[in-house]
Amino acid sequence: MVEAVVFGVAAVIILGGAVGVVVNRNAVHAALSLVATLFGIAVLFVAQEANFLAAVQVIVYAGAIVVLFLFVIMLLGVDTSENLDTDPLVGQRPAAVVVSLLTAAGLIAVVVTSTVTGIPAASARWVRDGDDISQIGRLLFTDYLFAFEITSLLLVIAVVGAVLLARTKPGDQIDEDEDVPELHSDEVPVDDAAEEEEAKS
Amino acid sequence: MLLAAVSSGWYLSLAALLFSIGALGVMVRRNPLVMFMCVELMLNAVNLTFVTFARELDDVGGQVVVFFVLVVAAAEVVIGLGIIVSILRRRPLATADDVSLLRG
């Protein structure tokens, strides 16, 4: 009974937030709707006794990723409303609605008509004693050790890539014939060595 | 005990709906930032599915996969937002259509 109520409330929050992300014209409002959805997912994680993942969900998603989104929105000043009334590709929007409805119907049909099969895990058995952190950690450093190492490599690549992408030189705007509004002072300082390299080549 | 009051089918159906809404957003919206948020919605739907199956099958492996999905999502957001920032610096108010040439 308790879980049914929790599920109902969380489902309303999740779906409402998701619709808000798609429908909101303003990117900041969309990001705030995304926070609602992420919190709802975290609630459902707790309802399924995945407590560690619920905490990680709130910390990483709501705490880091959405903040990153909001930083980029505010940094670029693109918090202006997007024009949703015109449809640049004629007929694309109804087609997208039809495709997503078909996706939902197909997935739910699979869920309704099929049963969950599979052998209960031998080594990775989930013992529900409230200590899911040590179980996840043990599995992470035994069965999934290689994937874990690859993940660390991925994070290093992401950090290096982000630093490289952020160090762009101010260049000419492409499509100069178009009337593009100027951004206020976003000049990036260029160090002299790079400029000399540019002059030589 | 909270357990088993709501069957897994409800969780999976909710995840399916969430995934479809995210897919709709990716197809409909043209602001690259909002498209990214819709990708996050789809990733979250998949995470919910993984946790539900972890509960259903009594397997911690599902939770470990969710952990990896979180890491990959974080890396993807960092790189994607870096690309979006470097594009929008030169072309403010660019939409996904404007950068279809992958140039500039």
Predicted-complex ipTM score? 0.88
Torsion angle (degrees, nearest 10) of CA B3, B4, B8, B11 = -50
Check CB contact under 8 Å for A151 and B68.
yes
Mean pLDDT, rounded, for B85-104: 71
Chain B contact present for A136, CB below 8 A: yes
Cβ proximity of A132 and B49 under 8 Å? no
Helix/strand/coil (H/E/C) assignment for every residue in B25-93? HHHHCCCHHHHHHHHHHHHHHHHHHHHHHHHHHCECHHHHHHHHHHHHHHHHHHHHHHHHHHHHHHCCC
Q: Which pLDDT band holds residue A160 (cuts at 50, 70, 90)?
A: very high
Tally of domains within chain B: 1
How confident is the model over A43-59, as pLDDT tens digits? 999 998 889 999 999 99
**Radius of gyration from C-alpha coordinates of chain A:** 24
Range of the domain at B49: 8-90
Which positions in chain B touch A157 (Cβ < 8 Å)? 75
- Measured between CA atoms, the residue of chain B closest to residue A41 is B48
Establish if B74 belongs to a structural domain: yes
Check CB contact under 8 Å for A107 and B53.
no
Establish if B56 belongs to a structural domain: yes
Over chain B, what is the mean pLDDT? 85
**Nearest Cα residue to A164 out of A197, A192, A188, A148:** A188
User: Which residue in A53, A72, A104 is closest to B81 by CB distance?
Assistant: A72
Establish if B1 belongs to a structural domain: no
Establish if B3 belongs to a structural domain: no
Establish if B104 belongs to a structural domain: no
Check CB contact under 8 Å for B58 and A121.
yes
DSSP secondary structure letter of residue A120: P
Cβ proximity of A58 and A43 under 8 Å? no
Query: What is the model's pTM?
Result: 0.82
How confident is the model over A124-136, as pLDDT tens digits? 777 777 788 888 8
